[in-house]
Chains A and B, each alone.
Chain A
Amino acid sequence: MAEKSEKKKRPSRQPMSEQAPEVRRRNFEEVPLGYTPEQAQLEAERCLQCKNPNCVAGCPVSVDIPGFIGLIKEGDFTGSIRNLWSKNSLPAVCGRVCPQEAQCEGVCIVGKKGEPVAIGNLERFAADYERAHGTGELPPKAEPTGKKVAVVGSGPSGLTVAGDLIVKGHDVTVMEAFHKPGGVLVYGIPEFRLPKEIVAQEVNFLERLGVKVENNVVVGRTVDLDELFEEGYDAVYVGVGAGLPRFMNLPGENLIGILSANEYLTRANLMKAYRFPEVDTPIPMGKDVVVLGAGNVAMDSARTAMRLGADRVRVVYRRSREEMPARAAEIHHAEEEGIELFLLTTPTEFVGNDQGRLTGMKCIEMELGEPDESGRRRPVAVAGSEFHMECDLVIVAVGSGANPLLTSDTPDMKLNSWGYIITDPETGKTTKKGVWAGGDIVTGAATVILAMGAGRNAADSIHKYLTLGW
């Protein structure tokens, strides 16, 4: 009996304090505020230190989760970050944006009878503590191999490849089309979910390790893949992301006031247009905003619109809440901030005034029918349910496709029928010799951590190639 009641007393999961919804809905500062060292140690104590941990198997880059958590518990925060770095070069990012509930935390034993260990929060703590208090000492690096690797794209998969190969002694150059490195971490994910300073510091960490970062290089235009080999690179990794916005293909879609989520978020995040006119890039300030789509990008867009001063923000989605692809936590945060979900509805036409500016959309109600090939119930229009919805800004967040800029320039690299690069699933090798690919340009739009996992596998394969051959 005594033993049983002791078990019941296992401390509950440490909550992470957050900015209050009514405050944060109008600012761009980060929403969750992080753990204190005391909170982190209390949370770390909840870990059972399993011998055969499910959580590690659930992590696409196999972070030694019990290991780094054990070190936090002992108060060895430096040891903890070193442990993390050995498997993950972007812990401050992953601690914030990984879908832990579907990976490590989703399979945590503690979570079977209560709430799982807050693995993501602890990863974030270790990285943030190092940034604030760390010695800045770098992990060890192998002797130079004399081999040169070009990494095309500086998003999560590219940065992972760069981090893995630089410590193995290769000479690594990352090429980024934008004027700032980070890819989707910089242009896509908003400041309030992932402060850009953190991305800059993660990139800086790689630069201190010796990675060269060249901005403003559009591979496929400024230089093509074959020219990289002529310039002396021994291997190339292509991690350019998906990066082709999908639109609804409805009448009136080119009215002023209809933007892709890519454009809206790039203006806000990369160009910092929320500070206009302090910075020179403007962004439409909608008062009555509609976001089409219900994934994480849609949530990011809706929450950005609210922060830019909208009176009303509605997420319009053709299926029901159950089918929304966004993380539950993101939906929860959005609703707390006053964003309305307008479900089982789809637009059929955009309506504007004589200046070509959007004034509203014609909509129709939907109901769920039989499951489709995705296993989700197919939305079907309800006859006679047409109605008009007023709005002055529509953000289209219905996914993205493969951007052909680089791939169309490289005929000997095979693509599938959707335009994504065909690779060996184990190694990331493409059909073009010396070229690997990974992340969204292979899988279609997915998560940061899956892109990093692909980068990890490709880096292992590139290393083998550079030391042993193709």
Chain B
Amino acid sequence: MFKIVKRQEMSDGNVILNEIEAPRIAKKAKPGQFVIMKANEEGERIPLTMADTDPEKGTITVIYMVVGKSTALFKSLKESDGYQDIIGPLGKPTHLEKLGTVVCVGGGTGIAVLHPITRGLKEVGNRVISILGARSKDLLILEDHMRAVSDELHITTDDGSYGRKGFVTDALKDVLEKEDVKLVVAIGPVPMMKFVSKLTEQYNAPTMVSLNPIMVDGTGMCGGCRVTVGGETRFACVDGPEFDGHKVDYDELMKRLQAYCEDEKRCHEDYCRMQGI
């Protein structure tokens, strides 16, 4: 069993942080890599990109939003409960290099994945400008963490309740106009990554996105996570999860993410009814 040593509810209570004992993974993991987690015997294998690792303590941290039965089950786990299975670290680590000015754009729980990458980019000597987006102020996560590893931080909310009213792309456009941006890292909902990539293409700013498609094994064995990148089929689990944002077929990815939506809805509703949620 992989024990939860710290559990925290974030955002509107629907985003959960778990710090989990997984010494082997903590020792080996690098920014950008993911794990596959399974709560119990009947559970589903869920891929989550790590938000942090502590090799000395032997723990990893994941932050996820409750969207269906499996994440609702994860949410029900308390401190000192545990996950039956955690597999990792999987996927290729982020390539961290000193380039000059880089922009890190995060939306929703994507900010959790973005944080260790931002920290890594800062540590190798880049000037880091971060842009965080949320629907409203209370849904924004990890603002302080991101501020600590950024030279400049911009916040946008859809409803204008905090920072600038609008989308991350509005703030990003201003930065791209002013700065010589060597790299944009965008992690968040697929539509966000799509529109960020569209924008940065106009400015010829190299862009990297981190994808989280449906997968089973996470080791290149099933091909469920296939995405089209530059017209070629790639497996996000072993060839990614990070890809050139300008080459990803986002429309296909969005459709593929809906593959089991009816099943997931039914399963989640059954669970909520049984749990009285």
Residues of A within 8 A of B (CB): 177-179, 215-218, 221-223, 243-245, 247, 249, 253-254, 256, 259-260, 262-263, 266-267, 271-272, 276-282, 284, 355-356, 403-405
Seen from chain B, the residues whose Cβ lies within 8 Å of a Cβ on chain A are: 24-25, 28, 38, 42-45, 69-70, 73, 84-90, 216-217, 219-224, 226-228, 233, 238, 252, 255-256, 258-260, 263-264, 266-267, 270
**CA gap between A271 and B46 in the complex, in Å:** 12
Q: Which residues of chain A have C-beta atoms less than 8 A from B226's C-beta?
A: 254
A281 in contact with B45 given A217-B24, A222-B89 (CB within 8 Å): yes
Interface-centre pick from A245, A259, A260, A282 (highest chain B CB count, 10 A): A282
Q: Is the CB of A223 within 8 A of B28?
A: yes
Q: Given the interface contacts A244-B220, A256-B255, A403-B221, does A280 sit within 8 Å of B85 by beta carbon?
A: no
Interface centre among A179, A284, A403, A404 (most CB of B within 10 A): A179
Q: Is the CB of A277 within 8 A of B221?
A: no
Whether the Cβ atoms of A281 and B44 lie closer than 8 Å is: yes
Select one of B223, B227, B260 contacting A262, CB under 8 A.
Answer: B223
Known A-B contacts A245-B222, A256-B259; A277 and B45 likewise in contact (beta carbons under 8 Å): no
Residues of B within 8 A of A247 (CB): 223, 233
A259 touches B70 (CB 8 A): no
Among B24, B73, B256, B258, the residue within 8 A (CB) of A280 is B73
Q: What's the minimum C-beta distance from A284 to chain B, rounded to whole angstroms?
A: 8
Q: Are A254 and B252 in contact (CB under 8 A)?
A: yes
Name the residue of chain A whose CB is nearest to the CB of B91: A221
22 A-B pairs with CB atoms under 8 Å apart are: A178-B217, A179-B87, A218-B88, A223-B24, A243-B219, A243-B220, A244-B220, A245-B221, A253-B233, A254-B226, A254-B228, A256-B256, A256-B259, A263-B216, A263-B223, A272-B42, A280-B43, A280-B44, A281-B45, A282-B267, A403-B219, A405-B219
A-B CB proximity, top 6 nearest = A356-B255, A263-B222, A282-B263, A280-B44, A179-B85, A279-B42
Known: A243-B221, A262-B222. A277 touches B86 (CB 8 A): no
* Contact partners of B255 in chain A: CB under 8 A: 256, 355-356
* Given A222-B89, A256-B256, A281-B44, 20 new contacts (CB under 8 A): A177-B87, A178-B217, A216-B87, A218-B219, A221-B89, A222-B87, A254-B227, A254-B228, A254-B233, A254-B256, A256-B255, A259-B224, A277-B266, A280-B44, A280-B69, A280-B267, A282-B260, A355-B258, A403-B221, A404-B220
What is the CA–CA distance of A282 and B270 in the complex, to the nearest angstrom? 14
CA distance A405 to B224 in the complex (A): 17
The answer to whether B24 and A222 have CB atoms under 8 Å apart is: yes
Q: Which residue of B lies closest to A267 (CB)?
A: B216
CA distance A177 to B90 in the complex (A): 11
Expressed in whole angstroms, the minimum distance between the Cβ of A223 and any Cβ of chain B is 7
Partner of B267, one of A260, A262, A276: A276
Q: A177, A244, A263, A276 — which one has the most chain B CB atoms within 10 A of its CB?
A: A263
Residues of A within 8 A of B89 (CB): 221-222
Q: Across the interface, do B223 and A221 meet the contact criterion of CB distance under 8 Å?
A: no
Given A177-B219, A403-B220, A405-B220, A277 and B270 contact (CB-CB distance below 8 Å): yes
Measured between beta carbons, the chain A residues less than 8 angstroms from B42 are 272, 278-280
List the A side residues contacting B252 at CB < 8 Å. 254, 356
> Cβ of B219: which chain A residues have Cβ within 8 Å of it?
177, 218, 221, 243, 403, 405
Please, how many angstroms separate the alpha-carbon atoms of A355 and B257 in the complex? 11
